Amino acid sequence: MSSSAAAKKEAEKFFEATTSKEHSGSRLDQFLATQIPDLSRSRLKLLLLGGQVRVNGRNVGDPAYRVKPGETVMVRVPAPEPAKPKAQKIPLDVVYEDSDLIVINKPAGLVVHPGAGNKSGTLVNALIAHCGDSLSGIGGEIRPGIVHRLDKDTSGLLVVAKNDKTHNALSKQFADHGKDGALTRAYLAFVWGVPDPRRGSVNAPIARDPKAREKMAVLPGGRHAVTHYEILERYAGKDGLPIVTLVECRLETGRTHQIRVHMTRLGHPLLGDEVYGAGFRTKVSQLTAKAQKAFEKLNRQALHAYQLGFLHPGTGKKVKFERRFPADLQKLLDSLKSS
């Protein structure tokens, strides 16, 4: 049976457990988390609030309910709802695929999931066409299987879950941000100027910019955000002095626009970033003629997620994938090297 056919036959599931003395006084959501480890805390909470949990035959929707010894707890897990976005045959660069997950090398310009202004033509639409019904239902109807995202104009590696167990396991790794060594995410970025020191970290909280809702900003009280960077190469402009730097960035956290915001915070925004680096547009004239031509054809921030590694939930083995620059960034690199 194909994975698609198997997914269609997948029915709702039921879990039943009896509390013991050691569970006495425990919160219901905590008890369920120990009994059904394949489901995330957030999924269990939704089941509780949705009336899918019964204790001694009666519905209990309060996650803070304290269990008593000898109670019978039943949980109904509905079958994953089919994704609502339509299937669209959009070409995908599939790096790896098995029955649990799929790794995509996303091109710049492709939105990850439907949203305001992007109801179709997204990665999700392409995945539905490619994978059929075999996508995790945890992300909901609009984001089936989506564990993490890349900005529309950022290219690179992205993993998508095909079932709830895989989605839950990968989400835990992303939530841990690689502290246990299981997850690795590395990006390559071209930035204006030369960061100092050569290797460093930016530890600055990020929140939505109250003056411009489409932007993020470093703000007190924002979400904890840490980016580690290292200079890989420097490139000279017309006057022979360094004007552009290729840096590798590794994420300790995963906030919206994190690398773009943090490198701007350092005073070295990404080339082509019209949101955070518009003030550096005048520096283009300092590039060599060949580099200026490559830059003008870029039309996006010079950021590529080139490395992704994680513990495969199905095999328990560490897997690691790398993809070098797409054509537009490779042309920019070649033009800078020849300067």
Name the residues annotated as catalytic. 151
- Closest of 195, 208, 303, 186 to residue 252, by C-alpha: 186
Give the distance between the most distant pair of CA atoms in the chain.
80
Cα angle 43-224-172, degrees, rounded to a multiple of 5: 30
Cα angle 321-177-169, degrees, rounded to a multiple of 5: 75
For 153-170, b where at least 16 C-beta lie within 10 A, e where not — what string?
bbbbbbbbbbbbbbbbbb
- Distant-in-sequence, close-in-space partners of 106: CB < 8 Å, separation ≥ 6: 93, 112, 123, 150, 154, 155, 156, 157, 158, 305
